[in-house]
Structure 1
Amino acid sequence: MSTLTRPKTEAAATAPGTLRGPARVLLRVHRKALWAAGALLVLGIGIVVALRVWMASSKVRCADGDTTRCGDDIYVSSYAHTSTETFLADGGGALLLLAGLIGVFVAGPLIARELESGTFRLAWAQSVSPAHWLAARLAVPAALAVVGLTVLIAVYRWGLWALRGYPHSQTPYWNDSGTFPGTGPALLGFTLLAVAVGALCAVLVRRTLLSMSATALVLGTVALGLGQRRYVLWPTVFRQSADPVKLDSGDWVVDMGRLTESGRKLYWEDCYDYAADPLQDIDACWRDLGAVDHFTEVHPASHYWPLQLVETGILLALAALAVFAAFRVLRRLHG
């Protein structure tokens, strides 16, 4: 009879409370996708490294990167430098798109395809509860994506750092829509949201292509909305002066115009007819409207981290809601 008794170690290995078994199966089934993700990681690192090496080895006449004769009034940057600026200007947008693709993959091949084909029943019949099955499909891609994108963020920031110090450099501003999303923790928050939204769309729709489309639509809406309204996530700095307000190089101008004595704000649209006619004196229009001072509302460079952290908090909160909803939907449908 002793030969029919299952060892305790084997019983522990099949315990439904662990995620190691489902995670190993997941990694093995989707190993081709993992290799593709690793290739993208290496490609991204290689592109930034190649751009920096190219820029460092480009032939220039002066130490500041000027390709004309040193000391003249003409500054022409090297082709390698301008090309590096062009490629890196949209690097943050590329990383944001990569994070969205991770969510689309989670929605389609990782979850919805199994729900659509019915192969999930095989895992559930092997001491894996629906909750643990879904948890593995959330934890594994989330962990791998966060690690990989953290590396890419560091490499991207390293690439942008090389553009600093040139007197006429067109280095992407910290607030540019193509730069800001890929330089801080907000990208990691968006990645976790992408994974959570992918899982929620998959358990709701249970069709591969429809789940992927719904995920892309939701993530695109969130990214577009945050990009357009990012400036409201933190209070701006108000500056007022009798002369045009002097701006620092790192200032993100949110609003600007003229002020009356009562504090009413005036904008160029108020003098549109004067501004459109070169024969008219727009200053006369300002005087007629009672303008006495100039004003600007800006986000200085010091607001980079507050904006990043607030945006990250919003994304993490949305991700938590999506994860909660996904488990509730799965429990309601499958117990």
Structure 2
Amino acid sequence: MSTSTPTPRKSGVTGTASPVAGRGPVRVLLRLHRTALWVAGGLLVLGIGIVVALRVWMASAKELCSDGDITPCGGPVYQSSYARTSTEVFLSEGGTVLLVLAALAGVFVAGPLIARELESGTFRLAWAQSVSPARWLATRLAVPAALVVSGLAVLIAVYRWGLWALRGFPYSSAPHWYDSGAFPGTGPALLGYALLAVAVGALSAVLVRRALLAMSLTALVLGAVAFGLGKRRYRLWPGELREGAAAQTYAHGDWPLENGMFTASGDRLYWQDCLFSRWDNAQACMRDRGGVTPFAEVHPASHYWPLQLVETGILLALAALAVLAAFRVLRRLHG
């Protein structure tokens, strides 16, 4: 009497891990933090809904003229609708709100996603199941980075669509393209902030391995980077220098940086130097100081994309350094 030995079932790929096994850590991560995913999805829907509601509100406002005037066309008084002015106020800090969302993603990565597991020791369970430390960390970087970038890319498009409806109206208080409250949320720089937030969160987590401390450190670093770039953004790309009559007029969309007068020797005198002088006339003050030719340094609207791309490049470089440092720290601590 003979017995038959069961034949093991063969995988479709010989000598390599199956695709299902490769997706295992991702599935576990998504299931473990599904509540956070629902919250993030809710914020995405809320952001889209707010901008859509504002656009619908403006469209339903009773404006008598094509330029948005609610008073008789051509009259001495111009007044925009309450819906339009309210939308301008609501959207003026939209870029700051999107920056905060990007920072929250980094704080979440630093705390619940990585540091909490290192603090509690639950990471050993994953590492005991043939998941290397490097792969474990890579999953916790790649998954939130992909989700956050995708969600924020949608919000960028929606925010730009909302701002577009405010263009071209006289006496508008809509944010300019260079305003600190709007600029970060209208282009790829926001995605650079998001990737930096995830990278800094991971680095903070593996460095301190305490959830609350890692979250605080991440928020502090991201706040410092955003504040520093916001203050020096105008220096990321050379401004356009205008002299003579061209220096005294500004086109729509110009971002004024500096203005004053050149002396005969080419030195610069700035108007702010005469603001609190004993001369009542600032121009006379400049002439008395040796000013000859007016000048102005501006960023025209065409500098929007160079500024966005340079800032994005800086953020991506910082993010790459943070990711490299996170893996080196993890390797040094855990092999």
Q: What TM-score do the two structures reach when normalised by structure 1?
A: 0.94
SS in 2 for 1:82: helix
Partner of 2:285: 285
Q: Where do residues 282-321 of structure 1 align in structure 2 (5 Å cutoff)?
A: 282-321=282-321
Matches of 2:43 and 2:179, distance apart in 1: 24
Task: Say whether 1:61 aligns with 2:64.
Answer: yes
Q: Deviations over 1:59-93 (max 9, x none)?
A: 12222211112221110110000000000110011
% of aligned pairs identical? Answer: 70
Cα offset, 1:124, TM superposition:
0.4
Partner of 1:333: 333
Deviates more, 1:148-157 or 1:61-70: 61-70
Deviates more, 1:211-220 or 1:160-169: 160-169
Letter in 1 for 2:44: L
Cα offset, 1:249, TM superposition:
1.5
Matches of 2:182 and 2:281, distance apart in 1: 39
Partner of 2:259: 256
Q: Deviations over 1:217-274 (max 9, x none)?
A: 0000000000000111111100111585211121111111111111111123433443
Task: Say whether 1:241 aligns with 2:238.
Answer: no
Q: Deviations over 1:103-142 (max 9, x none)?
A: 0000000000000000000000001000000000000000
For the 8 Å contact 2:115–2:214, the answer to whether it is kept is: yes
Task: Say whether 1:72 aligns with 2:75.
Answer: yes
Of residues 36, 46, 51 in structure 1, which corresponds to 2:54? 51
Letter in 2 for 1:108: G
Of residues 110, 114, 123 in structure 2, which corresponds to 1:107? 110
Q: Which runs of 5+ in 1 are unaligned?
A: none
For the 8 Å contact 1:242–1:293, the answer to whether it is kept is: no
For the 8 Å contact 1:17–1:132, the answer to whether it is kept is: no
Cα offset, 1:8, TM superposition:
3.7
Deviates more, 1:103-112 or 1:243-252: 243-252
Task: Say whether 1:175 aligns with 2:184.
Answer: no
Q: Which runs of 5+ in 2 are unaligned?
A: none
Aligned residues: 332
Partner of 1:22: 25
Of residues 96, 118, 123 in structure 2, which corresponds to 1:120? 123
For the 8 Å contact 2:99–2:190, the answer to whether it is kept is: yes
Matches of 1:323 and 1:91, distance apart in 2: 28
Partner of 2:88: 85
Letter in 1 for 2:300: P
Partner of 2:192: 189
SS in 2 for 1:75: coil
SS in 2 for 1:127: coil
Deviates more, 1:237-246 or 1:36-45: 237-246
Matches of 1:51 and 1:289, distance apart in 2: 51
Q: Where do residues 26-37 of structure 1 align in structure 2 (5 Å cutoff)?
A: 26-37=29-40
For the 8 Å contact 1:243–1:293, the answer to whether it is kept is: no
Task: Go from structure 1 to structure 2 and tell me whether the alpha carbon gap of 1:22 and 1:10 turns closer, same or farther (over 3 Å shift).
Answer: farther
Matches of 1:4 and 1:248, distance apart in 2: 79
Cα offset, 1:166, TM superposition:
1.5
Task: Say whether 1:324 aligns with 2:324.
Answer: yes
Cα offset, 1:7, TM superposition:
4.5
Cα offset, 1:167, TM superposition:
2.2
Deviates more, 1:194-203 or 1:4-13: 4-13
Cα offset, 1:281, TM superposition:
3.7
> Runs of 4+ in structure 1 displaced over 6 angstroms?
10-13, 15-18
For the 8 Å contact 2:271–2:286, the answer to whether it is kept is: no
Task: Go from structure 1 to structure 2 and tell me whether the alpha carbon gap of 1:128 and 1:2 turns closer, same or farther (over 3 Å shift).
Answer: farther
Q: What TM-score do the two structures reach when normalised by structure 2?
A: 0.94
**RMSD after superposition:** 2.1
